[in-house]
Copies of this chain bind each other. A is one copy, B any other.
Amino acid sequence: MAPTVSRPSRVAKLPPRERILDAAEELFQNEGIRRVGVQTIAERAETTKMAIYRHFETKDALVAEWLRIVAADYQAAFDRVEAEHPGRPGEQIMGIARFITEGLPAISYRGCPFINSLAELPDRSHPARQVIEEHKAQQTRRLVGMCAAAGLPDPGQAAAEITFVLEGAQVSTQNGSIDQVGDRVLRIVEGIVGQHRASPGAARTVSG
């Protein structure tokens, strides 16, 4: 894994833009957008405020770019799940549910970046909001497609229910009101996916 390009000075160090985005990702996720100043991001990225403003027009643009990366990660997870279970939409849906539940411990004391960012950005004209809304809409579209392919009687309703459960699970994990969130989520989604028929193995109810 030696650097393919150059060796800036000592240890292999990413170019400033990458370091800035890495620092922003960690700080925005853990501390929130508005609590983190540009100066703090610069320090953690081992650079300066000036360098940040050379790569991003404003702080808001940096926020939007960060969310664009996070959204791309989620899309990649969808892609991976689809590729792992080709032609098996039920397995794909369960894979997504597993992807979310596996991420729950990491956000146990800080929530989903999209939910949190929406809370911190009340103005609808903020560039980051567009990123979030487009991402969520596309995610819903893919989920509806999977539910339809799985033969669920009402794909739109099933996708809505799954979305509610996954989003709600993240919220409830954050506020600690419910225990064993991951297990409960998986059981619920199993129940939804197994709805299409009383096929063997799908007989377990949501409370089994």
Query: Which residues of A are interface residues toward B (Cβ below 8 A)?
Result: 30-32, 34-35, 109-111, 114-120, 122, 124, 132-133, 136-137, 139-140, 152-154, 157-161, 163-169, 171-172, 174-178, 181, 184-185, 187-188, 192, 195, 205-207
Is B140 within 8 A of A160, CB to CB? no
Is A116 within 8 A of B114, CB to CB? no
Contact pick for A157, options B118, B168, B184, CB 8 Å = B184
20 A-B pairs in the complex with CB atoms less than 8 angstroms apart: A30-B122, A32-B119, A111-B119, A114-B175, A115-B115, A117-B119, A132-B175, A133-B177, A136-B176, A136-B177, A137-B176, A137-B177, A140-B177, A152-B207, A157-B188, A157-B206, A163-B178, A164-B178, A166-B168, A167-B172
Contact pick for A168, options B32, B140, B164, B184, CB 8 Å = B164
Copies in the complex: 2
Report B-chain residues with C-beta under 8 Å of the C-beta of A174: 118
Report B-chain residues with C-beta under 8 Å of the C-beta of A124: 109
Say what secondary structure dominates the interface of chain A: helix
Report B-chain residues with C-beta under 8 Å of the C-beta of A117: 119
Name the residue of chain B whose CB is nearest to the CB of A136: B177
Is B139 within 8 A of A175, CB to CB? no
